[in-house]
Structure 1
Amino acid sequence: NVLLACGSTDYKARIFSGFIKEVDKREGEPTPWGGKCSTGALVAEFGSNSGGGWVHNVSFSPDGNRLAWVTHDSSISVADANRGMAVSTVRTRFLPYLTCVWSAPDLIVAAGHDCCPMLFKYDMSKAELNFVDKVDKSLKKEVDGFSAKKIFQNMDKRGMSADNNISDTQLDSIHQNTISEIRVYSGSKSGADKISTVGVDGLMVIWDLKALEASLKGLRIV
């Protein structure tokens, strides 16, 4: 693989030739992204028709023929070299994503400021990307024990008055702050069994994708 993908603050994702003569056997071997390219040559460039935002992360598909990227306008996009460089973009209602990774040839997991990994499916026959569901299906727990009984117990223990403003600050997700990175933990991009996430909350979480199949609204991860 002699391709290098990157994102920029000019709202664009780019692919460059990373060929190194002393390392790679055959110079300029054609790829689905284009013909022969010299070292450092711009192979492809993708922007956004909807305004876009800073590109936070990029990820090649397992076969290297598709590129996914996430931007600060809460969008995720896929460019498909097998479909004439067609670009499919989903602009979501969630907070911006900071990281993404392919977990299968047609599945992408993205995460960021919403503190929850999100699963997207790419339909290769239609060159179309769609949101599937949140990977974190944890249920909302009683927040810090602030039931009515606990409130009065704390008023007695901590000298709190009824006028104290007790706010529900715990999120209904495992991560309690921004997820900064996703990695394949077990398996590969062609078929990840587990992925890992790390967040600003100091947590590293291992997600068992196979175990989560039943909770993802009937989606079968293959």
Structure 2
Amino acid sequence: MSTHEIEHLATCITAHAWNADRSRVAICPNNNEVHVYAKQGTSFVCEHILSEHDQVVTCIDWAPKTNRILTSSQDRNAYVWTFKDGQWKPVLVLLRINRAATHVKWSPQENKFAVATGAKLVCICFFEEEHDWWASNHIKKHKSTVLKVDWHPNNLLLATSSSDFKVRVFDAYIRKADGRSVTRPYGEVPFGEPIFEFNECSSWVHALKWSPSGNSLAYSSHDSVFCVADFSTNPPTVEKIKLRSLPLRDLLYITENSIVGVGYDCNPLLITNSGGWKFSDEMDKASTSGAAGAEATSARKLFQNKVDLGESSKSDTKLSTAHQNCISFIVPFKSVGGVVSDFSTSGLDGNVIIWHVKALEAKNKLKVL
């Protein structure tokens, strides 16, 4: 069994999302469109092009239960797409923002969603049946662009990461969406007031993710710092490690004690917890060390020719990894009970790659706890 399956679907991909049975994938080819591909045999065929946005689409999230696609864009808008009569029909979301929408995420119950923005706020959006539109309430406690959002499994808590170097946890209870008979984990916290703030990072916080149980929250920043906040204690304790890799852009728990991080190294990294969180190994080891050495020699020769002879080469250097450019998104492909057996990544090289965790364990002798 191969460790990964590569699909080259565009020149560059800024985001991707799968439907519930993984028969279709939605991608953004670094423009204002969303392309929906269907699996036909061993290849993917483009079925629909969603072109309601005016500028680059920044994020896509596909709700597995309701089969609705959520998109955000630099045009300061978000749309909820519903498949009806053979077509994807958009409904505009009333965000009321004056900067780009940077990230979107459906809540676990799919009755609301969060939109991160460059307007120093997060929109918590819910459907108003009397007006037949998606309205929003604003969380305004950020001092700079909000880069990522992620929902706690309880459907009430929302974590945000920002370019003001902080991670915050909010109570995102909405009466119209959640109803009245809801037990809130930290009591009657006013909407928009942070319950916790974490400031261990000294740079932009690119990514964050709740664990399957919701007992821990992992996040990573542009200074290659990786942290995990443990919510089994009150107040939460934070474990911080400095990675030797380039910064991580996105994170995914594959088990409660194992996290895969992706980013500028073009190689998924495994971080595990065994008496403390630590970097375990690179997950893409398809090539030999000799290939990596040849790659380094080629790069050194290219640089020397530029210095000595003024020569420049138009040919690109091929990396030894499956991804040839920054990996920007990672999402689960197959999972049962919070354990991810397969995950997919997309990057600026235009590839969507499906990784098989068990095969990676056997090939690389990785220990996934």
- The bucket for the TM-score relative to the shorter chain is 0.7 to 0.9
What CA distance in whole angstroms lies between the structure 2 residues aligned with 1:9 and 1:28?
32
- The structural deviation recorded for 1:122 is 2.5
What CA distance in whole angstroms lies between the structure 2 residues aligned with 1:218 and 1:180?
23
What CA distance in whole angstroms lies between the structure 1 residues aligned with 2:366 and 2:253?
20
What CA distance in whole angstroms lies between the structure 1 residues aligned with 2:254 and 2:366?
17
User: Partner letter of residue 56 of structure 1?
Assistant: H
Match in the other structure for 2:248: 97
The answer (yes or no) to whether the contact 1:19–1:27 under 8 Å persists in 2 is no
User: Partner letter of residue 63 of structure 1?
Assistant: S
- The structural deviation recorded for 1:138 is 1.1
- The structural deviation recorded for 1:164 is 7.0
What CA distance in whole angstroms lies between the structure 2 residues aligned with 1:59 and 1:203?
23
Match in the other structure for 1:156: none
Match in the other structure for 1:212: 360
What CA distance in whole angstroms lies between the structure 2 residues aligned with 1:189 and 1:218?
21
1:138 is the counterpart of 2:286? yes
Match in the other structure for 1:159: none
What CA distance in whole angstroms lies between the structure 2 residues aligned with 1:15 and 1:82?
15
1:183 is the counterpart of 2:337? no
Match for 2:221 among 71, 86, 94? 71
What CA distance in whole angstroms lies between the structure 1 residues aligned with 2:182 and 2:196?
15
What CA distance in whole angstroms lies between the structure 2 residues aligned with 1:26 and 1:120?
40
TM-score, with length taken from structure 2: 0.49
Q: How many residues align?
A: 198
TM-score, with length taken from structure 1: 0.79
Match in the other structure for 2:207: 57
- The structural deviation recorded for 1:168 is 7.8
The answer (yes or no) to whether the contact 1:28–1:37 under 8 Å persists in 2 is no
Cα distance 1:108–1:12, how it changes in 2: closer, same or farther (>3 A)? same
Match for 1:5 among 159, 164, 184? 159
RMSD (CA atoms): 2.7
Task: Note the 1:154-169 alignment, pairs <5 A.
Answer: 169=317
- Partner of 2:359: helix, strand, or coil? coil
Cα distance 1:63–1:26, how it changes in 2: closer, same or farther (>3 A)? farther
What CA distance in whole angstroms lies between the structure 2 residues aligned with 1:165 and 1:22?
61
Match in the other structure for 2:257: 106
- The structural deviation recorded for 1:58 is 1.1
- The structural deviation recorded for 1:52 is 2.2
Offset from partner CA, 1:152-194 (integer Å, 9 cap, x none)? xxxxxxxxxxx97778822111101000000001115710010
What CA distance in whole angstroms lies between the structure 2 residues aligned with 1:215 and 1:29?
46
Task: Note the 1:15-30 alignment, pairs <5 A.
Answer: 15-26=169-180, 29-30=183-184
1:47 is the counterpart of 2:195? no
Show structure 1 runs of 5+ residues with no match.
Answer: 147-162
What CA distance in whole angstroms lies between the structure 1 residues aligned with 2:246 and 2:291?
24
- The structural deviation recorded for 1:38 is 3.1
Show structure 2 runs of 5+ residues with no match.
Answer: 1-154, 296-309
What CA distance in whole angstroms lies between the structure 1 residues aligned with 2:337 and 2:327?
19
